[in-house]
Structures are given as structure tokens and as C-alpha cells.
A and B are shown apart, each in its own frame.
Chain A
């Protein structure tokens, strides 16, 4: 799988998906003008990963400071891909990082955990 990296902007997060090194990270703020458009390559990248059947274990790390409502739906759609991956036999984890006093982002992670039933680990930033 080709590495996917998208640089952070004022309203979109930094993305790094690298199957070779096993790094899968989404970090920053997310309120793109068009969430569907921004998250489409990420979802397609995971479709490719699922089709390749080459990954047996994966941890996707989120470290977000803000998510707009349309981003919240797009991230959920991305998490649905992790469910597919898990159904294919891969061991899938989500590492949900947040600032200690940021109850909003923590709560969003808990909502996702409830809906997807994926394995979530919560970790506060130092």
C-alpha cells in the first residue's frame, strides 16, 4: 500500500497512513468546507488495505482538538472501515488521544466506541 500523507491546514488535520511502518495517525482540527471530499481518499485508502488483506494488526491513532458535525459523520464512516478490517480477521485498535480538560473530544471518542464496538484505548496528552 502506498503511503498516504496529507499536511495539516487551518481547518483540516494531519493525516499519515503508512502500512510499512505501521503508523496510522489523524491529528489536528477538522472542519473542512466539504468533509466528504476531504475524507474520501482516507476511506478509499482503507478500502485498498482491506482488499490487499496484508495487515494482521493495526492501531489507528486520533489526536483531535476540534471536529465539526460533518467531520464527525465522516470519521464514523472511516471507523466503519476498521470494522470491515476487523471482520476480515485483523486485530484492530483505536487509540483516542485528547487534552486532559477536553471533555468534548473525549465524549466523541466514547460515542464512537459505543457505536462501532471497536476496541478503544483512551489516553490524555501530557
Chain B
């Protein structure tokens, strides 16, 4: 798999996804506020999160909405850093976009996962999505009470946090890139 190779099947699927998200934010009262396509590391997590905070403050978004968005941004970006697969050349293809439609902010992210991880994520996210607000909080407290960090440093709280902060307004999709890999796309919404 060569994600940087223009015109490869994998690259075409990835680019089409990014283009379709951006296209949905063309026009009146809509805007792409933040867009990052390419590799991610902790330095980029820091710079993107600072940019998000500044943009939100400039737009006059309420402090509580800024906090919710900031939470989702960090959980999303750190998830990708920890779990995003790299291609044959060690290139980690990811996208991260925040779109604003009137008062609604949508945080989009995508990264490459193996088919096996895609299956697990699918189960996990469907389970999280089916929870009521009360059950989300209950599960969050259970993990907080008993949870420990995994070898990779995951807390098991990431998707629960995103679901809680977005009022469980969260969607996801897997697009097969080839036999081994899929593009995992996640989006969540926060009202400003």
C-alpha cells in the first residue's frame, strides 16, 4: 500500500473522502475552520489544538462549547497517533477537519486501520452509540474506577468521552482500501 502515490486505489478513496467533506462546507453559512491532511505527531496535536482554541474564541463560541470541542479534538487526534496504521513507506495517512454550519461544529477524522481492528472498532462504536446518556456516564465511571492504561497508553475512555461531549452525536464509517486495510472515518457534532 502506497498512500502517497497519486492515483493508487487507496490514495483515490482517501482523497475522495476528504474532498467530499470539504465540498459539504462550501457555500453560505458554512466553513471549513481547520483542515489537516497528512501525518500526525504530538507537535501537530499541540499546534492543531491551539489553533482550534484560538479559532473558537475568535468566533465567540461559548466557553463550554469550546471545552467540548477541545476535548473531542484531543481524544480524536491522540487516538489516531496511537492507533493509525502506516503504509509501506512508513507514511501515516490521516485527515482532520472541523466544519462549521451555522451554529453546529462537526469534527471529522480519518485514519487507516487493519481489517481486524476495523471489526473490533465497529463492535465497540456500535456499543457506545447504543448507550443512553445515563449508561454512558455509568460506563465512564466504571472504566474510571477500574481502568488502567493499556500498553499503547489507551485509557478505554476515548470514545466514551467523545460520545459524552457530543451528546452521543457520533457517526463512523469503514471503507475498504484493499484486502488488509480500511479507512476509518469518525465524525461528531457539538452545538456552539
* A11 touching B157, Cβ below 8 Å: no
* A104 touching B67, Cβ below 8 Å: yes
Pick out which of these stretches binds chain A: B68-76, B86-94, B103-111. Answer: B68-76
Q: Which of A33, A72, A102 contacts B155 (CB 8 A)?
A: A72
- Summarize B's interface: helix, strand, loop or mixed: helix
Q: A35-B149, A74-B149, A103-B64 are in contact. Are A69 and B50 (CB under 8 A)?
A: no
Q: Check: B148 CB closer than 8 A to any chain A CB.
A: yes
Q: A101-B63, A102-B67 are in contact. Are A73 and B144 (CB under 8 A)?
A: yes
Please give the residue numbers on chain A whose beta carbons come within 8 Å of chain B beta carbons, in ascending order.
10-11, 31, 33-36, 66, 68-70, 72-74, 76-77, 101-104, 111, 114-115
Number of residue pairs A-B, CB distance < 8 angstroms: 66
Q: Which of A10, A77, A111 contacts B46 (CB 8 A)?
A: A10
Q: Which of A34, A77, A101, A104 contacts B153 (CB 8 A)?
A: A34
* B145 touching A115, Cβ below 8 Å: yes
Residues from chain A with Cβ under 8 Å of B145 in the complex: 115
Please give the residue numbers on chain B whose beta carbons come within 8 Å of chain A beta carbons, in ascending order.
42, 45-46, 49-50, 63-64, 67, 70-71, 74-75, 78, 81, 141, 144-145, 147-149, 153-155, 157-158, 160-161
- Write 19 A-B pairs (CB below 8 A) sorted by A numbering: A10-B46, A31-B78, A33-B42, A35-B149, A35-B153, A35-B155, A36-B149, A66-B67, A68-B75, A69-B160, A69-B161, A72-B155, A73-B144, A73-B148, A101-B64, A103-B64, A104-B64, A111-B141, A115-B145
